[in-house]
Structures are given as structure tokens and as C-alpha cells.
Structure 1
Amino acid sequence: MKLGVFSVLFSQKPFEEALDYIASKGLDAIEIGCGSYPGNAHCNPSELLQDSAKREAFKKAVDDRGLIISALSCHGNPLHPQKQIAKEFHDNMIETIDLASKLGIPVVNTFSGCPGDHEDAKYPNWPVAPWPNDFQEILDWQWEQKIIPYWTEIAQYAKERQVKIGLELHGGFSVHTPATLLRLREAAGETIGANLDPSHMWWQGIDPVQAIQILGREGAIHHFHAKDTAIDPVNVHKHGVTDMQSYTLMMDRAWQFRTVGYGHDMKTWADIISALRLVGYDDVVSIEHEDGLMSVDEGFTKAVENLQQVLIREPLSEMWWV
């Protein structure tokens, strides 16, 4: 396995300065934002696609520091019911897929998106209950008319360019659980897989180890984020896991994102790493920092230190004791 980071943490730094800092921490890989929600501070696909010299310089800057690019990320909502908003996310994703193909990067990470509840809707509608029956009718319409047709087309486009799509399982979007990921994968093909982030499993009440085993049996983990979540044992009974309060209201929230090791202990993280290897994922574990109690540098550094303890780096050997 390799240890990496989602470099949007360091968007305020020039690209090569960020690479130097990341390499100085002993990391092996970098995941780079290419627009939409993550922004494109370090990688503008439009510019790089138009200029081969810029592409070569971009790749060389990474290679020269002994790093690899684990994924390009363009998280957005290409199914947004407002067509112009959807188009901007869609166009950015297509450019990101094209750039990944040209650079030989294996995965593009994004969100599944979430449609509205009818053709003239203005805002996404995320049904989370089977009754009243209106919600089931909305969900059926979304999957049959929007989600499956769109992602079947995108999956084919990416497959032709030898790029996999890693959908981050995230609340508020249509694909947010192992089951919804597998439903889409069955319809759209194996190019679709998960960018699995355990932090989003914990707040939904899903054990990440079980999620890894469910998805891993199907070969459906394309990328992995390392981020933690802390559940407040009092506030969760007040607000529930679908707490809609701002992330800034940390004293009153039911849960909050934490850096690795500050929501769950290292035995839990060792179990997660072991589960990844068990199902055959021996690729990059990419740190994502969204901890409201720590600075970027401190949160990132602690995540690196904690993961270095449990990451399984060496290739498998024969079981000499068998």
C-alpha cells in the first residue's frame, strides 16, 4: 500500500511548493483537485489539455519528487436539475477524464450527483424514507430517468479512455451507501466503483470494515480516502445522524469530521487497513483533512503519523508457517 493526500489541503501553496511539503512528510502519492467543489488551484484541465508542454511539466514536477498521482478529483453534481449548473459539473468531469487518460492516471473521483424530483425542479431532492409513497416514486424516477442513463454513458466514455470512476459515497447524493453504489455498478458496468471514505460510513451508521468487505468482494473499490468521524453521544440523540446544522457549530453537532485517530482508535484503523488488503485493495490510502479542531498542518501531520503505524506496505509473501 501507499500513503497519499488529497492536495486541496494545500491549495494556498504554489503547486511545486505543495509537492515539496508532501514529499517531505514521506508520502508516496498525491490526489489532485481539477475543479468543481475541490477547485483547480493545482490543476486546470482546460489548460493542460491544450498544451502538451504544460502537461509534461506538470507530470515531471510530480515524478521528480518520487510521487505518483493516485487520482484526479472533480467532485460535483452533474445531475443537478438546473441544466446550466449540471453542465458546468459535467463539462469539468469530461475534461478531467480526458486529462487522466492522457496522463495515465487510473481514477477520476467525483460524486454521483442528485437530481430533482421532476423535469422542472430547481433543486436536488434526496429521499431518505420509503413512506409516504411519494418518496419512493421520486426515487424510482431519479434512478430510471436520470442516474442510470447518465452514468451508463459516462462509464462507457471513461472505459474507452482506460479511466475508472470513483464515486465518493456521500450523504446528500444518490450514491451514498455500498448498496446504492452496487446498484449503479450493476447497471452501468465495472468502470463505476467507490472512492470509499470511512468518515461518511460512520455518520450513516455503517461499519467501514463491513463496507470494505461488501464492496471489495465485487472488486468495487477504486480509491480510498482516510478521514475520521467523531459521534457525539449526547447530541446524536437530539439531532440524529442527518444533522443539518453547520459544521461550524461543533459544540452542538451530532457528529463532526476528525483527522485519523481522533474519532476512532488505531485498532479500528488497523482493522480498516487489514480489510482493504484482505479484499485485494493494495493501492493508495489518500488522506483528506476536514477537522475543525486542528490546523491543516497539524491535522495532516497527525494523520500521516497515525497511518504510518498501521499501513501495510510490503507485498504479500508466502505463508512459510503453512
Structure 2
Amino acid sequence: MKLGVFMVLLSGRKFEDALDYVASKGLKAVEIGTGGYPGNAHCNPAELLENETALKNFKNAVESRGLIISALSCHGNPLHPQKAVAKEFHDVFVKTVELAEKLEVPVVNTFSGCPGDHEDAKYPNWPVAPWPNDYQEILTWQWENKVIPYWTEWGKYASDRNVKIGLELHGGFSVHTPGTLLRLREAAGEVIGANLDPSHMWWQGIDPVQAIHILGRAGAIHHFHAKDTSIDPINVNKHGLTDMQSYANMLDRAWQFRSVGFGHDVKEWADMMSALRLVGYDYVVSIEHEDGLMSVEEGFSKAVQNLQQVLIEEPLGEMWWV
């Protein structure tokens, strides 16, 4: 496995300066935002696709520092019920897939999206309860009319270009658990896999190690994010895990994102690394920083330090003792 970083935390730095900083930390991979929610501070697909020289310079800037691009990321909602909003996210996704093909980057990360509850809806509708039965009817309509048709069509578009789609299992979107990911993968094909982020498993009450086993045994982990979550034992009893308060309201929230090691101890992260190796995932562990209690530099640096203790980097040798 290689240790990498989701470069959006360094959006305030120029691209090559950010790459120098990443390389100085001993990392081997970068995940680069291309638009959507992550923005495109370091990579504008439309510009690179139209300029071969700029494309070569971009690739060389990464490779000359001993780095690889683990994924291009354009998290968005291409199923948004407002057609103009959906089109903007969709167009970025398509350009990102085309750029990934040109750069020979194997994965594009995004969200599954979440539709509304009917054709003329204005806002996404995320049903999370089976009763009253209205919610089941909404869920069925969404999957049969929006989720499966979209990802079947555009999954094939990506597959035809040798690009895999890593869907982040994130609350608020149709694919948010191992089960919903596998449901879509069964319908749309093996091009669909997870960009598995443990932080979103913990706040949904899912054990990330078990999520790794469930998805890994199906060959359905395309990419992996390293971000932690802490759950407040008092506030969670007041607000529940579906706490709708702003992330900025940290003192009263039921849970919050943390840097690696500050929500769960290093042993739990070691268990995840072992589980990834066990199910055959030997790609990149990409640090994502969304810790409201630490600066970018400190949160990132501590995540690097903690993960370097547990990352399994060397190839498997023979079991000489067997």
C-alpha cells in the first residue's frame, strides 16, 4: 500500500508548491480534485484536455517528485432534481473520466448523487426509514428511474475508457452503506466500487473493518480515504447520529470529523490496514483533512505520523513457516 493525500486541503497553495510539501512528508500518492464540491484549484479538466503541452507538464509535475495520481475526484450530485445543477456536476464527471483516461489514472471518485422524490422535485430527498410506506415508494422510484439507469450508462462510459468509479459512501446520497454500494454494483457492473472512507462508516454505526470485509470480498474497494470520526457520548443521546447541526457547532454536535488517531486509536487503524491487505486491497490510503480542531498542517502531519506506524507497504513474501 502507498500513503497519499487528497490535495484539496492544500488548495490555497500553488500546485507545484503543494506537491513539494506532500513529497517532503514522505508520501507516494496524490488524489486531485477536478471540480464539484472539492473544487478544481489544482486541476481543470477542460483546460488540460484542450492543451497537450499543459497536460504533459501537469503529469510531469507529479511524476518528477516520485508521486503517482491515485484518483481524480469530482464529488457532486449528478442526480440532483434541478436539471441545471445536475448537468453541471455531470459535465465535470464526464470531463474527469476523459482526463483520467489521458493521464492513465485508474479511478475517478465521486458521490452516487441523490434524486428528488418525483420528476418535478426541486430538492434531493434522502429516505432513511422504511415506514410510513411513502418512503419505500420514494426509494423504489429513485433507484429504478434515476440511480440505476444513470450509473449503468455512465459506468459503461468510464469502463470503456479503463476508468473505475469510486463512490464515496456518504450520508445524504443514495449510495451510503456497503449494502447500497453492492446493490448498485450488481445492477451497473464491476466498474462501480467504493471510495471507502471509515469516517462515514463510524457515524452511521458501521464498523469499518467489517465494511472492508463485506466490500473487499466482492472486489468492490477501488480507493480508500483516511479520515477519523469522534462520537460525543453525551451529545449523541441528545441529537442522535443523524445530527443536523452545522459541523461548525462542534461543542454541541453528536459527532465530528477528526484527523487519523484522534477519533479512534492507532490499533483500530492497524486493524483496518490488515483487513485491507487480507481482502487484497494493495493500493493507496489517501488522507483527507476535515478536522475542525486542528490546522491543516498539524492535522495532516499527525495523520501522516499515525498512519506511517500501521501502513503495510512491502509486498507479501512467502510463508516460510507454513
Q: Which TM-score tier does this pair reach, normalised by the shorter chain?
A: over 0.9
After superposing on structure 2, the runs of 4+ consecutive aligned residues of structure 1 that deviate more than 3 Å are none
Task: Kindly state the Cα deviation for residue 97 of structure 1 after the two structures are TM-superposed.
Answer: 0.1
Q: Name the residue aligned to 1:156.
A: 156
Query: How far apart are the structure 2 equivalents of 1:249 and 1:159?
Result: 41
Q: Name the residue aligned to 1:6.
A: 6
Query: How far apart are the structure 1 equivalents of 2:71 and 2:61?
Result: 16
Task: Say yes or no: does 1:316 pair with 2:304.
Answer: no
Q: Name the residue aligned to 1:295.
A: 295
Q: Name the residue aligned to 2:279.
A: 279
Task: Say yes or no: does 1:81 pair with 2:84.
Answer: no
Q: Name the residue aligned to 2:69.
A: 69
Query: Could you list the per-position Cα deviations for residues 279-307 of structure 1 after superposition, in whole angstroms to 9, with x for gaps in the alignment?
Result: 00011000000000000000000000000
Query: Could you list the per-position Cα deviations for residues 235-282 of structure 1 after superposition, in whole angstroms to 9, with x for gaps in the alignment?
Result: 001000000000011110000000000000010000000000000001
Query: How far apart are the structure 2 equivalents of 1:100 and 1:252?
Result: 41
What amino acid maps onto 1:247 in structure 2? Y
Query: How far apart are the structure 2 equivalents of 1:248 and 1:143?
Result: 33
Aligned-residue identity in percent: 79
Residue 165 of structure 1 aligns to a residue whose secondary structure is strand
Matches within 5 A, 1:118-267: 118-267=118-267
Query: How far apart are the structure 1 equivalents of 2:36 and 2:147?
Result: 19
Q: Name the residue aligned to 1:55.
A: 55
Task: Kindly state the Cα deviation for residue 175 of structure 1 after the two structures are TM-superposed.
Answer: 0.1
Matches within 5 A, 1:32-51: 32-51=32-51
Task: Kindly state the Cα deviation for residue 217 of structure 1 after the two structures are TM-superposed.
Answer: 0.5
Query: How far apart are the structure 2 equivalents of 1:249 and 1:206?
Result: 24
What amino acid maps onto 2:262 in structure 1? Y
Residue 225 of structure 1 aligns to a residue whose secondary structure is strand
Query: How far apart are the structure 2 equivalents of 1:235 and 1:114?
Result: 28
Q: Name the residue aligned to 1:28.
A: 28
Residue 289 of structure 2 aligns to a residue whose secondary structure is coil
Query: How far apart are the structure 1 equivalents of 2:195 and 2:240?
Result: 25
Residue 69 of structure 1 aligns to a residue whose secondary structure is strand
Residue 314 of structure 1 aligns to a residue whose secondary structure is coil
Query: How far apart are the structure 2 equivalents of 1:314 and 1:162?
Result: 27
Q: Name the residue aligned to 2:16.
A: 16
Query: Could you list the per-position Cα deviations for residues 93-130 of structure 1 after superposition, in whole angstroms to 9, with x for gaps in the alignment?
Result: 00000000011000000000000000000000000000
Query: How far apart are the structure 2 equivalents of 1:194 and 1:161?
Result: 18
Task: Kindly state the Cα deviation for residue 176 of structure 1 after the two structures are TM-superposed.
Answer: 0.0
What amino acid maps onto 1:86 in structure 2? A
Query: How far apart are the structure 2 equivalents of 1:314 and 1:46?
Result: 37
Task: Kindly state the Cα deviation for residue 318 of structure 1 after the two structures are TM-superposed.
Answer: 0.6
Query: How far apart are the structure 1 equivalents of 2:313 and 2:90?
Result: 36
Query: How far apart are the structure 1 equivalents of 2:273 and 2:231?
Result: 21
Task: Kindly state the Cα deviation for residue 25 of structure 1 after the two structures are TM-superposed.
Answer: 0.2
Query: How far apart are the structure 1 equivalents of 2:47 and 2:307?
Result: 35
Task: Kindly state the Cα deviation for residue 227 of structure 1 after the two structures are TM-superposed.
Answer: 0.2
Q: Give the TM-score of the pair, scaled to structure 1.
A: 1.00
Query: How far apart are the structure 2 equivalents of 1:312 and 1:217?
Result: 19
Query: How far apart are the structure 1 equivalents of 2:139 and 2:35?
Result: 28
Query: How far apart are the structure 2 equivalents of 1:34 and 1:269?
Result: 28
Query: How far apart are the structure 1 equivalents of 2:105 and 2:314?
Result: 23
Residue 30 of structure 1 aligns to a residue whose secondary structure is strand
Task: Kindly state the Cα deviation for residue 320 of structure 1 after the two structures are TM-superposed.
Answer: 0.7
What amino acid maps onto 2:134 in structure 1? D
Q: Name the residue aligned to 1:115.
A: 115
Q: Give the TM-score of the pair, scaled to structure 2.
A: 1.00
Query: How far apart are the structure 2 equivalents of 1:166 and 1:75?
Result: 10
What amino acid maps onto 2:287 in structure 1? I
Query: Could you list the per-position Cα deviations for residues 5-44 of structure 1 after superposition, in whole angstroms to 9, with x for gaps in the alignment?
Result: 0000000000000000000000000000000100000000
Compute the RMSD of aligned alpha carbons.
Answer: 0.3
Task: Kindly state the Cα deviation for residue 64 of structure 1 after the two structures are TM-superposed.
Answer: 0.5
Q: Unaligned regions of 5+ residues in structure 2, if any?
A: none
Task: Kindly state the Cα deviation for residue 200 of structure 1 after the two structures are TM-superposed.
Answer: 0.1
Q: Unaligned regions of 5+ residues in structure 1, if any?
A: none
